[in-house]
Amino acid sequence: MPDSNIIKPAEKIAGKLITLEKNAATFKEAERRFAVIDATREHLLPWMEWATQDKTKTAEDTYNFLKSCEAEWEKGTKFDYGVFENSTGEYVGGIGVFKVSFENKSAERGSWLAKHARGKGYAQEASALLEAECDRMGFQRIHTKVDAENIASIKNMEKSGYILEGVLRNKKWCGITKSFRDMRIYAKVKGR
């Protein structure tokens, strides 16, 4: 049963370029999102292992993910959004927070964009919209782990005002490259 004291985030957050919308757990939506993931799969690898053919093979896999997001939203442990381009309504990626701790007023964030949606300011606007909602909910700290070789994500974190807190050496085994990868920890802390 969900905690009645948990502040829920807005289900839709509109910006100038993009809108964040709570994931809808319908098969039609899963098919639409799977098509974008499948079309941009090579771009997402090796940073997003969930995008491998082994883990996201079909729209059914995406549907199951959307259902899990819905359940976690209700529990208050994860708030995940689809990113939609305002000019076309096209689904272009995802952003959200997970490992939510209302006690510690913190969460970890993750995001991705389709290849054709990069370089348009969407990543920074999505970050700003999500952070403003987290701020409204009283979060004090948002952090993320970024593969040390993912230069585009590192640049986005720095442009968005995240501070590098450290590097976790050999933190993550990457089944795609068959090697251990360093992960950089970036954070934004309210009032600092």
What is the per-residue pLDDT for 21?
97
What is the per-residue pLDDT for 54?
73
- d(Cα 63, Cα 26) in Å, to the nearest integer? 7
- Taking CA 145 as the corner, what is the angle to CA 139 and CA 150, rounded to the nearest 5 degrees? 135
Handedness of CA 88, 90, 93, 96 (dihedral sign): positive
Q: Which two tokens stand for residue 41?
A: 């799969």
For the whole model, what pTM was predicted?
A: 0.90
Question: What are the structural domains of the chain?
Answer: 12-189 (3.40.630.30)
**Across the 192 residues of the chain, what is the mean pLDDT of every consecutive 10-residue run?**
68 98 94 92 80 81 94 94 97 96 95 93 95 94 95 91 96 84 95 72
What is the per-residue pLDDT for 47?
80
> How many other C-beta atoms lie within 10 A of the C-beta of residue 84?
19
